[in-house]
Structure 1
Amino acid sequence: MELAIVIAVVVVALAFDYTNGFHDAANAIATSVSTRALTPRIALTLAAIMNFIGALLGQQVAHTVSDTIDVPGGSHGLIIVMAGLLGAITWNLITWYFGLPSSSSHALIGGLVGAALAAAMFSDKGISVHWQTILDKVVIPMLASPVFGFAAAFLVMLAIMWIFRRRSPHRVFRGFRLAQTVSAAALALGHGLQDAQKTMGVIFLALVAGGYASDGDDLPLWVILAAAGAISAGTYAGGWRIMRTLGRKIIHLDPARGFAAEAVGAGVLYSTAFIFHAPISTTHTITSAIMGSGATKRFSAVRWGVARTIVTGWVLTFPAAGLAAAIVYWICHFVFQLP
């Protein structure tokens, strides 16, 4: 019975990974498509390939995700993980439907925490939330990364404007369209590095709960390849609703500003993954970088009403995914008569 639940959790985790891919495809390619540096299909193909490669480059973020909560062994712990995943998928689909670029990362962690807290209402045996890890690795980076992304993209774009101030805008933009192929690939690599690892962490958590792995073990190769493949396939499917929001509704980007946003976003993703091992939101990072680079035109060029709606979605993500996961757990608790 437990093996069947483990398999079900893995399938649901890969389904979440797939929704993460198409939900966040816009993160990697919206700027390149909106500036016409790449066609949509070429951009999606490039992003899918780089997502797959990025997912193979590390395990630190995966272990951080698996360390956010402790669950009991056996079917009860697996149901908690399953509820967390379903809560995250629910919020992903809601925000995708409305075209809101919310964070799949925070939806996942919010779902896990919500399911764990709901389970603790009935029995806290073997269930705990590591609040210090969440504060250090999730909340602080969640607040810091958009601020840094905005400021860094603003400064990088100012530097570009000063360096190329005497050049022909037409030639400059043509050069940056070519450069965006590199920056978009780098951003997609960072997206795979960050987001696929989060799914790996959840699958590892399920394997530990089911007795098929121990804390401190390396991730099995099949987990890495499965998560990489799922997010890559989801990315190739594309998230056109969110792409329109990022690429057109916040601000009209030119190739130079698109390059600045992508380059800064990629740098933030790499540094937080390799240095801080923090599962940050690629959505928050690239959205704030787009706002920062766009604000160099003039602050009024950014559609702050759209930005306010996006930020509202960011704030709601953690509690909304947690509530959805708690509801799923409560349903499972009574249906399966969990102890």
Structure 2
Amino acid sequence: MAWLGLATVIVVALGFSYTNGFHDSANAIATSVSTRALTPRIALIMAAVMNLLGSYIGLRLGGGVASTITKGIIKTPTGTDGLVIVFSLLVGAVVWNLVTWWLGLPSSSSHALIGGMIGAGLAAGITVEWHGVWEKVILPMFTSPVVGFVLAYFLMVGLLWAFRRAHPGRVSRGFRMAQTLSAAAMALGHGIQDAQKTIGVIMMALIAGGHATSKSGVPNWVLFSSAAAISLGTYSGGWRIMRTLGRKVIELDPPRGFAAETVAAGVLYFTAFVWKAPVSTTQIITGSIMGVGATKRRSAVRWGVARNIGFAWVFTLPCAGACAAAVWWIANAIFG
């Protein structure tokens, strides 16, 4: 029966990766679609392919995010207890993803997963690495969208100055084409970051099931199944969230869409390869969109929508954690 429990956890992990794909697909393509740089179908296909490529690149060039997820937040015990913890944290993250997707709020799948880890860990009475949570989760959660806002603001100011005498129509057409590259870079960064999180959780399950150790390499089937799940979810689309990011925060034009995507992609690469922190692609692109919007005028950003998004960010960790803890109590009562 141990193999059945392990298989169930792996299926749920891939289900989380799928929800991550359709929940966060808007991160990579909302700006390009809203500015009509890409059609929705072409944008989704491109994002799915780049997510697949980013999954492979992220793991082969260090896999720091996967390592943080596997070892940096909680240390799960082996056997059934460990599998129940991993199952609970995944269900908690999936539930919160579905709730925020239904409400059209671009919350963080990454923080839903980490909140589930903390909630299931506390419910099970195992040690939570609070130093790792602060350094790799809380600190990036607050700093990355601020960095995205500031960098996007100044990049947009530089673009406005550089093209101040150019014909607006030609500038828009040029940046609409350039957005194909910036959207692809954003989707690649999403794959580098988010697929590694599912890989890390599956490795936790394999360690709990006795099929791997903390020093084991990632099997190819784990890499490709995680990448395929997130890519399939991306292709399924996340239209509710796409409308929020692409239209409700600010009405974007091609230069501002390009600036927001370029900055967000750069921040994703830095945090994945240098900081090795599982940051939120949602928070980074949202902060960048607000930054480029602020170059128009303060009222151009719909701050009421931004406030609702901020509430979703703040409540993701505790709410996903509470969901995971509830699932653990139920599962432990059944299988304990």
- Give the TM-score of the pair, scaled to structure 1: 0.97
Q: Secondary structure, in 3 states, of the residue corresponding to 2:250? A: coil
The 2-side partners of 1:80 and 1:128 are apart by 12
The 2-side partners of 1:197 and 1:52 are apart by 11
Amino acid in the other structure paired with 1:119? A
CA shift for structure 1 position 69: 0.5
CA shift for structure 1 position 316: 0.3
Q: Does 1:64 align with 2:68?
A: yes
CA shift for structure 1 position 32: 0.1
Q: Does 1:41 align with 2:46?
A: no
CA shift for structure 1 position 142: 0.7
CA deviations on 1:100-145 (whole Å, 9 max, x unpaired) are 000000000100110010111xxxxxx2211111111111111100
Which one of 100, 105, 115 corresponds to residue 120 of structure 2? 115
CA shift for structure 1 position 217: 1.5
The 2-side partners of 1:6 and 1:94 are apart by 26
- Give the TM-score of the pair, scaled to structure 2: 0.98
Over the matched positions of the two proteins, sequence identity in percent amounts to 62
Q: Does 1:15 align with 2:19?
A: no
The 2-side partners of 1:209 and 1:309 are apart by 38
The 1-side partners of 2:141 and 2:70 are apart by 18
The 1-side partners of 2:217 and 2:143 are apart by 30
CA shift for structure 1 position 85: 0.1
CA shift for structure 1 position 4: 1.0
What is the match of residue 55 of structure 2?
55
Alignment of 1:93-104 (within 5 A): 93-104=98-109
Alignment of 1:151-300 (within 5 A): 151-300=150-299
What is the match of residue 32 of structure 2?
32
Superposed structure 1 runs of 4+ greater than 4 Å apart: none
What is the match of residue 83 of structure 1?
88
The 1-side partners of 2:203 and 2:130 are apart by 20
CA shift for structure 1 position 3: 1.2
The 2-side partners of 1:229 and 1:128 are apart by 32
Gaps of 5+ in 2: none
CA shift for structure 1 position 335: 1.5
Amino acid in the other structure paired with 2:66? A
Amino acid in the other structure paired with 1:31? T
CA deviations on 1:39-94 (whole Å, 9 max, x unpaired) are 00000000000000000012211010111101111011100000000000000000
Pairs aligned (count):
331
The 2-side partners of 1:23 and 1:332 are apart by 26
Q: Secondary structure, in 3 states, of the residue corresponding to 2:210? A: coil
CA deviations on 1:4-39 (whole Å, 9 max, x unpaired) are 111111000000000000000100000000000000
Q: Secondary structure, in 3 states, of the residue corresponding to 1:56? A: helix
Amino acid in the other structure paired with 1:231? I
CA shift for structure 1 position 330: 0.5
CA shift for structure 1 position 218: 1.5
The 2-side partners of 1:226 and 1:89 are apart by 18
